Amino acid sequence: MGSTVYVAGLGVISAIGNNVAEHLASFEREEAGMGDISHLDTIHRNKLPVAEVKLSNEELAARAGLPADMSRTASLSLIAAREALNDAAIPGLDALRTGFVSANTVGGMDRSEHFFIDFIKDENKGKLRNVYDHECGSMTEIVADQLGIKGFLTTISTACSSSANAIFYAARLIKNDVLDVVIAGGTDALTKFTLNGFNTLMILDDEFCKPFDEHREGLNLGEGAGYMVLVSEKVAKILNKKPYCRLSGYNNSNDAYHQTASSPDGTGSYLAMKGALEKSGLQPGDIDYINLHGTGTPNNDSAEGTAIKRLFDPHYPPMSSTKSFTGHTLGASGGIEAVFSVLAIKHGIIYPNLRFETRMAELPFEPETSYLTGQNIGHVMSNSFGFGGNCTSLIFSGI
């Protein structure tokens, strides 16, 4: 116990890019990924904007090297996880204890929805292979098999904090000398069920979302995958390139206030951030940038903002919600935004909070609205808060 955990590789796919380099270019151009629905067959097309990955199911499967009828969730996962593993380029990987900790919330539901279209019309129709990989764990198994990982694999599903918790858990496996290398993060694809469910909750914005704005009206759903390769001190010493940074702090809390809403006073958010700081041995003033959970809903942004005020007042670091670019990618969001947090340290950048206009009345701070480069960023906090009050904060620190 006590081994430092390093980030050795990164991989990401979302509505603003199919790899790390494309994401950095989109941020620099301040180019968001939201738009009209094009791939998902839904009654909400031309009504609700979403942040879809700009590739069809067939194109994603081909890029991943999977069968054409594979779940979109698995294809997204494999593309990002493979990029992260290739980026890490770990010598002698086969001889190391390697694991895959992956998160998602929809599993192969996109394929299941195809099955029920035919089955509801005629109980003798519908392709059963479309429901075979319905559950979340199947996505992890498919990708682990493609990556050749057999030592340890598990799936985490805690709503929107899922892939942050996957990274959290992976770090603990390394610190407790269970594994040497872990590919950790998460994936989620847009489905009818997800879109209909969030629409029923009345928290979707029919315009492009504006997180942390006084006049915010809801979130835009997105999809994608984000993974990082975490390694032990022993492995960090044999890498052919310097690790990106350390995962210095992490904490999960649960205020259990409501099934789908955050507590108004941000109890869970506050405890997650406070606990992550304590784990890292840092003070609030040491944090150089916060990647906000920042969904754009009235409840979430108010709760998160209240918690930040309680913990950081009166000195607030720069902060922004990158969901203003990618939409809310649900179970993938913690992994995607962890990748962005690491890139912020690596390249000295702070991302803009797009479409922000008016400070929230109850807060004494506002998010950054400009793309900033050349910043001295040593410590980044990444927040991921899920349904049921399941809240997780990660802290990444430079080497």
What is the per-residue pLDDT for 127? Answer: 82
Which of 66-75, 145-154, 261-270 comes out lowest in average pLDDT? 261-270
Catalytic entry in 136, 160, 209, 391: 160
Catalytic entry in 23, 44, 328, 379: 328
What is the per-residue pLDDT for 257? Answer: 72
Question: Is 160 part of the annotated catalytic residue set?
Answer: yes
- Do 145 and 202 have their domain in common? yes
User: How high does pLDDT run on average in the chain?
Assistant: 95
Question: Is 315 part of the annotated catalytic residue set?
Answer: no
- Residue 260: pLDDT over 80: no
What is the value of pTM for the model shown?
A: 0.96
- Residue 1: pLDDT over 70: no
- Do 88 and 136 have their domain in common? yes
3-state secondary structure labels for all residues of the chain? CCCCCEEEEEEEEECCECCHHHHHHHHHHCCCCCECCCCCCCCCCCCCCEECCCCCHHHHHHHHCCCCCCCHHHHHHHHHHHHHHHHHCCCCHHHCCEEEEEECCCCCHHHHHHHHHHHHHCCCCCCCHHHHCCCHHHHHHHHHHHHCCCCEEEEECECECHHHHHHHHHHHHHHCCCCCEEEEEEEECCCHHHHHHHHHCCCECCCCCCCCECCCCCECEECEEEEEEEECHHHHCCCCCCCCEEEEEEEEEECCCCCCCCCCCCHHHHHHHHHHHHHHCCCHHHCCEEECCCCCCHHHHHHHHHHHHHHHCCCCCCEECCHHHHCECHHHHHHHHHHHHHHHHHHCCECCCCCCCCECCCCCCCCCCCCECCCCCCEEEEEEEEHHHEEEEEEEECC
- Looking at per-residue pLDDT, the higher value among 124 and 14 belongs to 14
Residue 65 lies in a domain: yes
Range of the domain at 122: 6-236
Residue 1 lies in a domain: no
Question: Is 215 part of the annotated catalytic residue set?
Answer: no
Catalytic entry in 23, 39, 44, 293: 293
The average pLDDT across 177-198 equals 97
- Do 322 and 384 have their domain in common? yes
- Do 47 and 113 have their domain in common? yes
- Do 213 and 282 have their domain in common? no
What is the per-residue pLDDT for 2? Answer: 63
- Do 49 and 164 have their domain in common? yes
The average pLDDT across 65-73 equals 94
Which of 44-48, 340-344, 353-357 comes out lowest in average pLDDT? 44-48
Per-residue confidence at 118, pLDDT binned at 50, 70, 90?
confident
The CATH number given to whatever domain includes residue 62 is 3.40.47.10
- Do 187 and 68 have their domain in common? yes
Per-residue confidence at 124, pLDDT binned at 50, 70, 90?
confident
- Residue 31: pLDDT over 60: yes
